[in-house]
Structure 1
Amino acid sequence: MKKQSLLKGAFVLTLASFITRILVLVNSMVQARVLGSEGIGLKMMVMPLMGLLVTLTTVGLPVAISRLVAEADAQGNGAKVKKILIVSSTITGSLSVAVVALAIFCGNAFSAYFLTDQRSYYSFMALIPIVPIVAVSGILKGYFRGMQTMNPLALSQVIEQTVRISATYLLVRWLIPLGIEYAAAGAVFSTVLGEAVSLSYLIAAFKLSHHRKFHVPNSLWRKVSKGKVIFFELLQTALPTMGNGLIFSLSKAVQPMIITKSLALAGLSSAVIAKDYGMLTGFVMPLLFFPGFINQSLGVTLVPAISEASAKDNVRLIHRRIFQALCVALSIGVPSTMLLYLFAPELMTVIYKSPQAAPLLKFIAPFFLLHYFQTPLQSALIGLGRAKTAMFNNMIAKGATLVFIYPLAAHFGLGIYGVMLALSIGVILETLLHVFAVYKLIGLYFHYAEIVKILLAGIIMGYGGKLIVTYLNYTDLQLGLTTILAIIFSVLIYLLILVYFRVIRRADIGKIPFIGRILVLLFPVRR
């Protein structure tokens, strides 16, 4: 099995995530056409439960598996890799049986009391088969991440969404004559089918990656009983990772109540609260988090990369990989922040037809530059075996955000700007806590010249983008086309400057999978 470098693996996953986002958009369009608003409503009553079922079943094991497999592979310990897979399969298998049994037994009562519409029972039942499927796929995804082979993960994402779109169209059209509740259940079951086909591909890729068959010992339980050390090593990373997910989910559930109550105490009417909160959560936050899928891909590849270097006790390699990841994060964060800040009025007008939301975006965008460092730093902590530290940092930051919302929004009378300031404090605090934690563990080393070059390229890009917008405003082009052209030219200016400063080298561009040889032609050779 051929390993991929940190940046190559991250690029492959980023490309797959981008394609997947497009397919998700296509799927939502297909559902709107064949299912209608009522059917989508029934489906969406149960779809949020998928995250809960996945969390209860996998308990953060995929991340733990990737870390331990990377360490075992770096040490050449194939037997330990096998034991990791056996123990994790036993854990998720047991949890799957328990979760499925509980869901089937409590399905009627749950849909009646918690889903508000008894018809959603069919959708809930259609979702249950996903539990064992996700359990097995989670183990295989963790394995491939640990072996630092991201192609199977990338292709499985695309396969899953493609099957989901086709199945949604076919099942809904077939079931719609029986009633909207059955059609909604068909749409939910299409998700299960997508996951099942994706799992089939992962199993095939796993078998093909081994020249010899992956034999499981006959005495499975004896093997598991001797794997207590592996069991506790897995839980050491898995439980804090699950805790992070639960903290995130809990804060997301509590945050809207605190924000709306605080804005009400600030003297705002219910109509103004709804408008301000809607602009923040519906318009501003999606734009802020949109480039995040690149960072998520980087975080997935960084955990096993750091674990491998740690297993070899190669501190220098750990420092180099962390700095690489932070440079990539900064290279994405600087242009994204600059574009969101400078083009806020145009973006809000073109995308949402809400220019009044532009000041909110301009206010919060600079603070969120630090958000781009969170994923690489958290992944570094997990790779170094400090998942618990990452969880506590996350807990402190989320708690601080909730604590500061009321005084800033209501007591100081800042309203929605106080809410954004509280969110920004949480982002800054979590980033700093991660920085201090990594520094305390192994130290942090930066090439400050590279950082200055990236920041300077972002500033030049910003000024260049505004000049382009000023010029295009004198033409007869529509605002949407003007904005798109200005952003494209701004990004191209930014990339050219990075190549000129040798932050990005032509050789690096040429190594990009699939399109590197074409892209390299766009950048001049320095003499």
Structure 2
Amino acid sequence: MSKFLRGTMILMAAGLVTRVLGFVNRIVIARFIGPEGVGLFMMAFPTLMLVITITQLGLPIAISKSVAEANAAGDRIKIKKIMTVSLAVTVTLSAILTPALIVFAPLLTKSLFTDSRIYYPLIAIAPIIPIVAVSGVIRGYFQGKQNMKPFAISQVIEQLVRIFLIAILTKTFIPYGIEFAAAGAMIASIFGELASLFYMFTMFKLKKKFRVRSKFFQAVRTGKETLYELFRVALPATGSRFIGNASWFLEPIVVAKSLAIAGVAASIATKQYGALTGFALPLLMLPSFVTQSLSTALVPAISEANAQRNHKLVESRLNQALRFSLLTGGISVILLYVFAEPLMAFMYGTSDGAQFIKIMAPFFIFQYYQGPLQATLQALDLAKAAMINSLIGAIVKLVVIFSLTSQPNFGINGAALGIVTSMLLVTLLHYATVMKRIQFTIDATSLILFTIVTLASGFLGHWCYNHLFQSYSENIRLVLGLIITSLLYLLLLLITKQVNRNDLKRIPIIKKFI
């Protein structure tokens, strides 16, 4: 098995565990603080992500790409310079931006958000910025070496720590008010990231073959060329992330203001936004652990192949990634669309947000395609084009959200439509940009067969749920419905030859039984 596939499988396995643990986190939060508390959490979170994006400056992706190229050339001195320069930049920015967020939090809360309670979660989460910044540098190093295990394990450790602390802290702070309980959930996230960083830092010290502290400042002073090389990739890449996170930062503000125009009270708007972004979107994003794993492994893999001018390998790896994304995304779309209401009730104790899943699920197949396409653009030095595509999508999203959400007939559903409109547009723009550089073909017959398989398994699964399992309790009906639909999907993929024996052999757990 190639490094690319092995790294992808490791990340996918850890991603699956992390997602499951992440859902446990969300279930605990939802049970303790409800949609309104989740809304406060989710309205503060985009501000944090925007600051982290500015702090990291896209360096993790640039480090991954540069380390992969330097490693291919056997240049250990270059790798040390990459690490020292990156650490110097991120630590300096963290020291500036962390106190800045704390100082300006009251102004942000008062001037931008309609709910003043967002102040407490915003203050609570600020200390996570330097932790995530340093963690991103070390992560980029391991990804550049195509060693995905440290990052994968660190993600699992982070979620385990968060689960343990969220249950304690939210329960401790809930008597003081819902805003303090949301702040408690933020504090749990800090300790989770800290545990993740401690593990990765330990692995970094054990695995590296150079001394970072040795002549650190000399390496920084003489690393101008390395800094320019990193920024050549990092700034356009951070441009895409900055646009995405700036759009995410503005999203709750635009939603809240639009709902206010539509006559919705601030507390109700917070609750509705919590149901959309805290309940529905995490379920819809579940298969993204596959696309994120593929994307993470794809950047160094394509960078290395491109550096060796092996264009056939570049095309092959992209096609592999897109195929995996399509097949895993298809089953997610079916299960979420067919079982939206019972899934929400089972996981969160409420069906609030099920209508968002019904609206958005059919379009999310494009989101699962978007990650590998963006990773390919970054690996081929087309990060600037990806940034422009993201900018167009962000502007369209905010315009659609404001136009529709401010109308009483649409309300919060307008936000859901704005998100999927942007998602569809950016994916198509990324695809068109990649096509200009790589001449790869998509099998139309396979796409038609995939569509038939998706619709058929969804219809049959829905029929079984409503007719064969009526005598069982709701939870048993749900479990049986999910299992039957998944098996039907896999069986139809095998019958139509969309998945074959060799594909299954690549999955270690299944390989034992074949």
Which TM-score bucket, shorter chain as reference? 0.7 to 0.9
AA aligned to 2:75 is: N
In the alignment, structure 1 residue 511 sits paired with structure 2 residue 509? no
* In structure 1, distance between residues paired with 2:342 and 2:505: 34
Alpha-carbon distance in structure 1 between the residues aligned to 2:38 and 2:402: 35
| Equivalent in 395, 398, 404 of residue 402 of structure 1 | 398
SS at match of 1:504: coil
CA contact (8 A) 2:39 2:278 kept: no
* Alignment check: 8 A CA contact 2:299 2:375 kept: yes
Contact in 2 for aligned 1:8/1:512 (Cα 8 Å): no
Q: Is the 8 A contact 2:331 2:454 kept in 1?
A: yes
Q: 1:190-339 counterparts in 2 under 5 A?
A: 190-210=188-208, 213-216=209-212, 218-256=214-252, 258-259=254-255, 270=264, 281=277, 284-339=280-335
Counterpart Cα distance in 2 of 1:190 and 1:360: 28
Deviation at 1:209, TM superposition (A): 2.8
Q: Indicate the residue corresponding to 1:67 in structure 2.
A: 65
Q: By how many angstroms is 1:6 displaced?
A: 3.0
Map 1:445-460 onto structure 2 (within 5 A). Answer: 445-460=441-456
Instruction: Kindly indicate whether the alpha-carbon contact (under 8 Å) linking 1:236 and 1:387 is maintained by their aligned counterparts in 2.
Output: no
Taking structure 2 as the reference length, the TM-score comes to 0.81
Aligned equivalents of 2:185, 2:250: Cα separation in 1: 29
Q: State the SS of the aligned residue for 1:476.
A: coil
Task: Work out whether 1:477 is the aligned partner of 2:472.
Answer: yes
Amino acid in the other structure paired with 2:97 = V
1:137 CA displacement: 1.8
Assess, with a 3 A threshold, how the Cα gap between structure 1 residues 477 and 108 changes in structure 2: closer, same or farther. closer
Distance 1:135 1:282, change over 3 A: closer
CA distance in 1, matches of 2:462, 2:37: 45
Aligned twin of 1:98? 96
User: What percentage of residue pairs aligned between the two structures are identical?
Assistant: 40
| 1:223–1:456 distance in 2 versus 1, CA, 3 Å | same
Q: Which residue of 1 aligns with 2:83?
A: 85
Residue equivalent to 1:525:
none
CA 1:41 to 1:498, structure 2 compared with 1: closer, same or farther past 3 Å? closer
Please state how far the C-alpha of 1:67 moved relative to its aligned partner.
1.5
Structure 2 equivalent of residue 156 of structure 1: 154
Contact 1:130–1:192 (CA<8 Å) still a contact in 2?
yes
Q: 5+ unaligned residues in a row in structure 2: which ranges? A: none
**Secondary structure in 1 aligned to 2:452?**
helix
Quickly say closer, same or farther: Cα 1:352–1:406, change in 2 above 3 A. Answer: same
Note the C-alpha offset of 1:153. 0.7
1:462 aligned partner, one-letter code? G
Q: CA offsets, 1:42-72, max 9 Å, x none?
A: 9999766643443333222111111111222
Quote the offset at 1:163 in angstroms. Answer: 3.4
Residues 346 and 199 of structure 1: is their aligned pair in 2 closer, same or farther, counting only changes over 3 Å?
Answer: closer
Structure 1 pair 20–365 and aligned structure 2 pair: CA distance change class (3 A): closer
Change in CA separation of 1:46 and 1:309 when aligned onto 2, cut-off 3 Å: same
Q: Tell me, in whole angstroms, the C-alpha distance in 2 between the residues paired with 1:183 and 1:284.
A: 21
Whether the 8 Å CA contact 1:341–1:361 is kept in 2: the answer is yes
Structure 2: distance between partners of 1:4 and 1:492? 29
Cα distance, 1:284 vs structure 2? 4.5
Count how many residue pairs are aligned between Structure 1 and Structure 2: 509
Q: Deviations over 1:241-274 (max 9, x none)?
A: 3333332333234345545666777xx6538995
* Residues 72 and 78, structure 1, Cα contact 8 Å, conserved in 2: yes
Give the 3 Å change call, closer, same or farther, for CA 138–345 of structure 1 in structure 2.
Answer: closer
Moved more, 169-178 or 232-241: 169-178
For residues 62 and 44 of structure 2, the distance between their equivalents in structure 1, rounded to whole angstroms, comes to: 28
Structure 1 residues 431, 485: CA separation in 2 closer, same or farther (over 3 Å shift)? same
User: Do the aligned partners of residues 455 and 75 (structure 1) sit closer, same or farther apart at CA in structure 2, a change above 3 Å counting?
Assistant: farther
Read off the aligned partner of 2:454 and give its amino acid letter.
G
State the AA in 2 paired with 1:270.
V
**CA distance in 1: counterparts of 2:39 and 2:438, whole angstroms:** 50
Q: 2:182, 2:336 → 1: CA distance? A: 37
**SS in structure 2 opposite 1:366?**
helix
Are the counterparts in 2 of residues 30 and 169 from structure 1 also a CA contact under 8 Å? yes
**Partner SS, residue 336 of structure 1:** helix
The equivalent residue for 2:15 is 17
List aligned pairs for 1:439-450, cutoff 5 A. Answer: 439-450=435-446
1:490-505 alignment, distance < 5 Å? 490-505=485-500
The answer to whether the 8 Å contact 2:40/2:274 transfers is no
Tell which structure's C-alpha radius of gyration is larger: 1
Mapped partners of 2:410, 2:185: distance in 1? 44
Query: Structure 1's 269 and 282: CA in aligned 2 closer, same or farther, altered over 3 A?
Result: farther
Amino acid in the other structure paired with 1:227? G
Deviates more, 1:201-210 or 1:273-282: 273-282
Change (3 A) 1:35 1:4: farther
Q: CA separation in 1, counterparts of 2:176 and 2:336?
A: 47
List gaps (5 residues or longer) in structure 1.
Answer: 522-527
For 1:132-151, list aligned pairs within 5 A.
132-151=130-149
Matches of 2:407 and 2:108, distance apart in 1:
41
Q: Which of 336, 347, 363 is the matching residue for 1:367?
A: 363
Instruction: Tell me if the contact between 2:35 and 2:274 (Cα under 8 Å) persists in the aligned partners.
Output: no
